[in-house]
Amino acid sequence: MSSTAGLYEAAGYFLPWIGYLALEEEKCAGTCAFKSTPESNRVEIAYFTFPEFEKQGVATRMVQALLRIAFDAVPGLIIAAQILPGENASTAVLKKLGFHFVAELEHTEDGKFWEWQLENSGTD
């Protein structure tokens, strides 16, 4: 909850560009969010699956939901995801959903990460 409150404090609270909970059988299985409102036709997403729900498709469903929300709101928007480098569960989710690798970048505080993007033509 504190990370969500911090996100809203930094970026503001603007529907639909907020955080969401993933519920599986009435339990919270994970969380996903838009990290801010779109800027320059781009928005970044983040998602996290709680350990007991890993490897059950929760992350895939969360990202799919964020994509639907984003493309319904702004057709043609570029969706970005910044993840830890290397082949991992997040890379598998992003590849499965059509994202492509853009670059390895580095944050001063967080270190190296990979950026992936998905662009919707806006005609679907």
Q: How many domains does the chain have?
A: 1
Q: Can you point out the beta strands (E) in 1-124?
A: 19-24, 27-34, 42-49, 78-83, 100-107, 111-119
pTM of the entire predicted model: 0.88
> Is position 124 within any domain?
no
pLDDT band at 13 (very low <50, low <70, confident <90, very high): confident
Nearest alpha carbon to residue 79 among 39, 107, 108, 50: 39
Cis peptide before 85 (omega within 30 of 0): no
> Is position 97 within any domain?
yes
How does pLDDT run across 47-80, given as a tens digit for each residue? 999 999 999 999 999 999 999 999 999 999 999 9
> Is position 18 within any domain?
yes
Q: Which domain holds residue 93?
A: 2-119
46 has a pLDDT exceeding 90: yes
Q: Domain with 64 in it: what CATH number?
A: 3.40.630.30
